[in-house]
A and B are shown apart, each in its own frame.
Chain A
């Protein structure tokens, strides 16, 4: 299983949206399906597929023991979502202390054979700075940092450098989101691209009304508005991710696992989004 972590340094740049839509677009490339992992305590990834907020997630599984796969739901054709779960205040405290004690918690949770069969895992990462983010970054094969094409993104550039230096083992790339035709957006893009030691993807995701509309209809943009530029951008991103993962030297595990779906008895995956 190849893991792609989607990271942001400030709110509102479209990290979760990117994770959801990238997952949908990647499913076209992954015979084993794509696993979306919500590692953001705000627990919003499932919303993009109409997964209710109340469903238990990886926090509950970690605290009560048992396979993470039991909390995963197939939410779209070829896409399975593992929500963070909506922990109570006490649960959150417990989870954090558990995590502080066991740095390998995430690795072990994802090492479930029922989850390993997915070709790709797209991780909606925790906000920065946080313990959770630091513990999940080393797991990723590829890190995508989402920035929006607005001046506030400049402010995050120093923290971006720090983050990359301290925690990123894998290749990290910047994806610029919400690009429109304005001069400002283009200049911001140019300035970010000119930063040393930052690899900026050669394409962007455009600001497109189809994206919020897709969220409102609880479907990925790919399905809601397949002809839209945003859908085109996410397809392009998925193509690029597949290429990047195929060409980079992996962790020694070779090609993504390609086991068939049917041979799985451990995880009774709940099919259907709403329950």
Chain B
């Protein structure tokens, strides 16, 4: 009976595969292809209305089929080139498309089932709770940044005899030692400083002995419930080696800030922590991300400590753990928050390091062929590594239309109609999947911006890392150079050059459309649309390079807490906070209040309350601004608890944010793009003027070259066009 059923299942699967393959490889003409594509798209739109995993999987399947069909058609019917130039450019394009296709397949596989793991309660018997060492590695961060992290770690809800906090100071700074003594945490330094953070952690492993190790970067402030919510999994599963929680940032990263979209649009990290890591977890391929995570000491010991073979030591460590059979887990509860990078330059520098590290992993510890991994794990790591190689493909997609517009190269040997008939389903289905599956984690067109910002900067480092994996860290830039209005000229220069090239492409396309090529209007139009999209993307990227910088030592959190203000007269007034930072607070307020008056601010968190001495800074329009007076260590710790320690501190961070609306995203980004182009043109007047001149000269030369360097035919053509236009206008007026 079971045999029969098994056979039936096999037969069904085989039939499905055959059908799918036939669906992918059957060639069709433009019209039937468009009809089939349209029907599939209509079906997908129906599926869109359903939420849930099955709908997502159906949409993904449709998208994979549409894309496979497109790629098959491209490979089988469009690689028929005439000239050498056509061959070179055409192969580059198809290579980039193949790369994107592979990433699409791997991505679909990786997130086929997003595991939404929930916290496991701890056993009632506290004797079974493991001992925990909290590591806070630091190297050159200022003490002000590290203090709240240490105080929050100390306040973690955990039996005092089972919790030890260690400050791992690789900078050997006296003030850090003094602070550690005052705060009563363990202070660890080492004699040499090999292998940076990995070395620092490994050294601390030798002088501690807790069963579990919780690691927080020096700016990641933990909620008091961090261990309560996470450790349960380690008790339940003795083979669990590592558990990661999301990295949450309470300030705007440069992209969010410069585009003015903080908390309105999912940031770059949310796709990974909201969606991809859950997918990884299903395949037991959760990546360790270096912070806000717990590792089992015995597991670390078995792999020889934190790995040092890559600049992304964290991901490599989890890979090694998984190789020897340890489980890994991802728990999507935000139980810590940190600071995002301040400047675009720093943002790029950090991402370049990640890209380089993941590329190194591909060589140093090849996840595809190395021992010990399951297929799912292999493909997840392969995707993570390959994903960071998007530099070159992105550039090819950006500059692709120039091949035809500038050089007249035909890089896709197909009629424009047929191309559209195959291309549109491929693109539209991919967008539908994103709008459904990723609707809460990444908005349409934003991926384009996030990747284009980095593409040109990670191109070389990833290639170097692939060729020479042990070459070490590739430093791009430490500091940006801010020009007037905060425009980062140095970072923006490369984008600007790409933008000028694309603008030239648009100009050429218009010229071609009007002055010649009227026999191939379709091709010109497709390239024009493509090139315009590049201009749009690069404009938005330039807007990112306009650093609208607000330097604030303490980041304010919009936070409504019940509060009370005690004046020197002994009156206490009930109020609410509007926002709060480690330096001060804004309150709802209606009474008159003298500036510099000394007050006491009481904050009510749950049933607890704590009071802080403060000074009135400003009082106007229903608001009162306070700056805290110097706080005792105990008060500082309480303030950290009120701000960051609440278990629900980050629960409704994105409350009120709608699901993805592709058209709204497009509109927003187009506005930003226009702003970016304007800003760039203002700051780089000379460069832009020169480029425009060059484009004009080249265009004229082109035209002259086509007419055999005689001006006469050109003039005739222009006047002919003029008369045609005036005729048309005349006839239009007549009709009216």
Report A's interface with B, CB cutoff 8 A: 180-181, 186, 202-204, 206-210, 225, 227-232
Residue contact B571 to A180, C-beta cutoff 8 Å = no
The answer to whether B571 touches A228, judged by C-beta atoms less than 8 angstroms apart, is yes
CA distance A203 to B607 in the complex (A): 6
Contact with A along B561-582 (1 / 0, CB 8 A): 0001010011111110000000
Q: Which of B571, B591, B609 has the most CB of A within 10 A?
A: B571
Q: Which A-B residue pairs are the 9 nearest by beta carbons? A: A181-B611, A209-B570, A232-B574, A229-B572, A208-B572, A229-B564, A202-B607, A229-B574, A209-B571
Residues of B within 8 A of A231 (CB): 574
Q: Which residue of chain A has the shortest Cβ distance to B613 in the bound complex?
A: A181
Find out whether the CB atom of A208 lies under 8 angstroms from the CB atom of B570. Answer: yes
Interface-central residue, B564, B572, B574, B611, by most chain A CB under 10 Å = B572
B148: chain A residues within 8 A (beta carbon): none
A186 to B564 alpha-carbon distance, docked (Å) = 16
Asked whether B570 lies within 8 Å of A229 as measured between CB atoms, the reply is no
Is there contact, CB below 8 Å, between B600 and A209?
no
Q: Known: A202-B607, A227-B590. Is A210-B571 also a contact (CB below 8 A)?
A: yes
In the complex, the answer to whether A228 meets B590 with C-beta atoms within 8 Å is no
Q: Is B602 an interface residue (CB 8 A)?
A: yes
Please indicate which of the listed interface residues B569, B573, B600, B611 has the most CB atoms of chain A within 10 Å of its own CB: B573
- Most chain B CB inside 10 Å of its own CB: which residue of A181, A206, A230, A232: A181
Q: Do B573 and A181 have beta carbons less than 8 Å apart?
A: no
Contacts of A227 in B (CB 8 A): 573-575, 590-591
* A-B pairs with beta carbons under 8 Å apart, 24 shown: A180-B611, A186-B609, A202-B607, A206-B564, A206-B602, A207-B570, A208-B572, A209-B569, A209-B571, A209-B572, A210-B571, A210-B572, A225-B571, A227-B573, A227-B574, A227-B591, A228-B572, A228-B573, A228-B574, A229-B564, A229-B572, A229-B573, A231-B574, A232-B574
Out of A181, A202, A230, name the residue touching B602 (CB < 8 Å): A181
Q: How far is the CA of A225 from the CA of B566 in the complex (A)?
A: 14
Which residue of chain B has its CB nearest to the CB of A189? B609
Give the complex CA separation of A227 and B607 in angstroms: 20
Kindly count the residue-residue contacts between A and B in the assembled complex, taking CB atoms under 8 Å apart: 43
- Contact yes or no, A230 B590, CB < 8 A: no
Task: Return chain B residues, CB-CB under 8 Å to A209.
Answer: 569-572
**In the assembly, what is the distance between CA of A141 and CA of B590, in Å?**
40
B735 to chain A, nearest CB (A): 71
Contact A181 B566 (CB under 8 A): yes
Given A229-B573, A229-B574, the answer on whether A180 and B566 have CB atoms closer than 8 Å is yes
Q: How many residues of B contact A (CB 8 A)?
A: 16
List of A residues within 8 angstroms of B602 by Cβ:
181, 206, 229
Nearest chain B CB to A166's CB is how many angstroms away?
A: 30
Q: Which residue of B lies closest to A209 (CB)?
A: B570
How many Å lie between the Cα of A245 and that of B566 in the bound state? Answer: 32
Q: Which chain B residues border A204 with CB–CB below 8 Å?
A: 609
Question: What would 15 more interface pairs be, CB under 8 Å, given A181-B566, A209-B570, A229-B602?
Answer: A180-B566, A180-B611, A186-B609, A203-B607, A206-B572, A207-B570, A207-B572, A208-B572, A209-B571, A227-B573, A228-B573, A229-B572, A229-B573, A232-B564, A232-B574
Q: Which listed residue (A181, A186, A208, A228) contacts B600, Cβ 8 A? A: A181
| Residue in B closest to A233 when the chains form the complex, CB atoms | B574
Q: How far is the CA of A180 from the CA of B564 in the complex (A)?
A: 11
Give the nearest-CB partner of A235 in chain B: B574
B-side contacts of A208, CB under 8 Å: 570-572
Chain A hits for B600, CB < 8 A:
181
Which residues on A sit within 8 Å (CB–CB) of B571? 208-210, 225, 228
Chain A residue nearest to B562 (CB atoms) is: A232
CB distance from A252 to the nearest CB of B (A): 33
Q: Which residues of A contact B569 (CB under 8 A)?
A: 209
A230 vs B574: C-alpha distance when bound (angstroms): 8
Residues of A within 8 A of B574 (CB): 227-229, 231-232
CA distance A68 to B570 in the complex (A): 40
Q: Which residues of B are found within 8 Å of A225, using beta-carbon distances? A: 571
Task: Say how far A113's CB is from chain B's closest CB, in angstroms.
Answer: 39
Whole-angstrom distance between the Cβ of B20 and the nearest chain A Cβ: 61
- Cα A204 to Cα B566 with chains together (Å): 15
Distance in angstroms between the alpha carbons of A225 and B569 in the assembled complex: 14
Q: Which residues of chain A come closer than 8 Å to B572, judged between CB atoms?
A: 206-210, 228-230
Shortest beta-carbon distance, A191 to chain B, in Å? Answer: 15
Q: Distance (Å) between the CB of B636 and the closest chain A CB?
A: 15
A194 to chain B, nearest CB (A): 14
Instruction: Please give me the residue from chain A that is nearest to B634 by CB atom.
Output: A183
- Distance between Cα atoms of A228 and B566 in the complex (Å): 10
Q: Which residues of B contact A229 (CB under 8 A)?
A: 564, 572-574, 602
**B632 vs chain A, min Cβ distance (A):** 10
Closest residue of chain B to A190, judged by CB? B608
Shortest Cβ gap from A212 to chain B (Å): 9
- What residues on A are CB-neighbors of B607 within 8 Å? 202-203
- CB A200 to nearest CB in B, in angstroms, measures 10
List, in ascending order, chain B residues with CB within 8 A of A230's CB.
572
Closest to B612 in A: A181
Per-residue 0/1 for B598-614: is the Cβ within 8 Å of any A Cβ (1 yes, 0 no)? 00101000010101000
How far apart are A226's CB and chain B's nearest CB, in angstroms? 9
Give chain A nearest CB distance to B622 CB in angstroms.
13
- In whole angstroms, what is the CA distance A204 to B574 when docked? 13
B611 (CB) vs chain A CBs: closest residue: A181
Q: Would you give the shortest CB distance from B590 to chain A, in whole angstroms?
A: 7
Nearest-Cβ distance from residue B656 to partner chain A, whole angstroms: 27
A181–B610 alpha-carbon span in the complex (Å): 7
Task: Name the residue of chain B whose CB is nearest to the CB of A193.
Answer: B607
| Docked pose: A209 CA to B570 CA in angstroms | 5
Chain A residue nearest to B608 (CB atoms) is: A186
A26 CB to nearest chain B CB (Å): 19
> How distant is the Cα of A135 from the Cα of B721 in the complex, in angstroms?
109
Expressed in whole angstroms, the Cα–Cα distance for A23 and B148 within the complex equals: 44
Interface residues of B in 543-589 (CB under 8 A from A): 564, 566, 569-575
- How distant is A189 from chain B, measured CB to nearest CB, in Å? 9
A180 to B566, CA, bound (A): 9
Give Cα A227 to B591, complex, Å: 10
Q: How far is the CA of A229 from the CA of B607 in the complex (A)?
A: 15
B563 to chain A, nearest CB (A): 9
Bound together, the chains give a CA A226 to CA B570 distance in angstroms of: 16
Distance to closest chain A CB from B43 (angstroms): 53
